[in-house]
Amino acid sequence: MARDEAPAVNKALFVRLRAKAGKGSEVEAFLREGLSAVMEERDTTTWYAVRFGHEDFAIFDTFPGDKGRLAHLAGKVGRALIAKTPELLDGMPKIEDAQVLAYKLPDENGQVED
């Protein structure tokens, strides 16, 4: 990547979710349904919804900058997640901002410089 080009990604979010007992399948369905809304977000470069066990889930997504990350948090999935938290989740989602250090995307990879 040339020094004057902006990286495809340099910001990320990692969100841990713990389903209430017996609500794992509902959290999974919620996350699967969220993909269509995320596909509409221009500045969400990658988005992953993952399951670690019966009640443990996470979302990991990447963005070209803070603007995209903030737009995603305020977007359809972010708003729906907050609305569904009392019904589906055991506690609040744990949202962590992260800086991407390196990445590999189809047809692109690179080190991300400060």
Q: For residue range 18-28, what is the model confidence (pLDDT) as tens digits?
A: 999 999 999 99
Compute the mean pLDDT over every residue in the chain, rounded to the nearest whole number. Answer: 90
Instruction: Kindly state the tokens that stand for 54.
Output: 């019966």
Domain holding 98: CATH number? 3.30.70.100
| Res. 2: pLDDT tops 60 | no
At 54 the pLDDT is 94
In this structure, is residue 31 part of a structural domain? yes
Q: Pick from 3, 81, 5: which is nearest to 38 by CA? A: 81
Range of the domain at 67: 11-104
Q: Tell whether 15 is covered by a domain.
A: yes
The domain tally of the chain equals 1
Instruction: Let me know if residue 114 belongs to a domain.
Output: no
Asked whether residue 5 is domain-assigned, the answer is no
Strand partners, 57: 17, 51
pTM (predicted TM-score): 0.87
Report H helices in 40-90. Answer: 66-73, 76-88
Flag whether 83 is in a domain.
yes
pLDDT digits (tens, 9 = 90+) for 43-77: 999 999 999 999 999 999 999 999 999 999 999 99
Please report the pLDDT score of residue 97 as a whole number.
96
